[in-house]
Amino acid sequence: MAHARALSFRARAGEARATLRERRGRKSSIVARGTTCGKVEKMNAEELEIAMANRETPMVIDFYATWCGPCVLMSAELEKVQERLGDAVRCVKVDTDEETELATQLQIQGLPTLVFVSPDQSKPALRTEGMLPAETVISVIENELS
């Protein structure tokens, strides 16, 4: 995939989690419970950390903002992906305006930014910026994350 590139997502996410725990003075013992937006779950940084640690299926993480037009379109495409693939994939979204520290640490600059994470922790995450049709997202999941 031309726009996708390997990302040291786990390292940067680990730094963000450590900073968040330090700043908030809490351990990460929260139960992942993301807010559901249709079939796609909205998560904060701590919920994302738990979901990443406990993943058994491919994950697609959508970093978005509510004011972003392409993000709204991407959200609809991810709903289609989740509907078509069901439990074979977990699509989640993170609002970059609410999770500014995480977005900064992961260097999220263009919106929407999608991060594709394999259940195989030895595989690097893939990252792309911009709107993708559901068919392309499904193709990446099936060909790159399985």
Instruction: Spell out the domain ranges in the chain.
Output: 5-18+35-144
Handedness of CA 95, 107, 119, 27 (dihedral sign): negative
Q: Tens of pLDDT along the chain (146 residues)?
A: 433 433 444 445 555 444 444 544 443 333 334 455 569 999 999 999 999 999 999 999 999 999 999 999 999 999 999 999 999 999 999 999 999 999 999 999 999 999 999 999 999 999 999 999 999 999 999 999 97
SS3 content of the chain, % helix, strand, coil (to 5): 40, 20, 35
- 5-18+35-144: what fold? Glutaredoxin (3.40.30)
Sheet holding 125-129, edge to edge: 5-7, 125-129, 113-117, 59-64, 90-95, 40-42, 35-37
Instruction: Given the residues 32, 37, 65, 68, select the one marked as catalytic.
Output: 68
Instruction: Given the residues 71, 102, 106, 126, select the one marked as catalytic.
Output: 71
What is the spatial distance between Cα 40 and Cα 76, in angstroms, rounded to a whole number? 10
Active site residue 91: no
Name the DSSP letter for residue 44: -
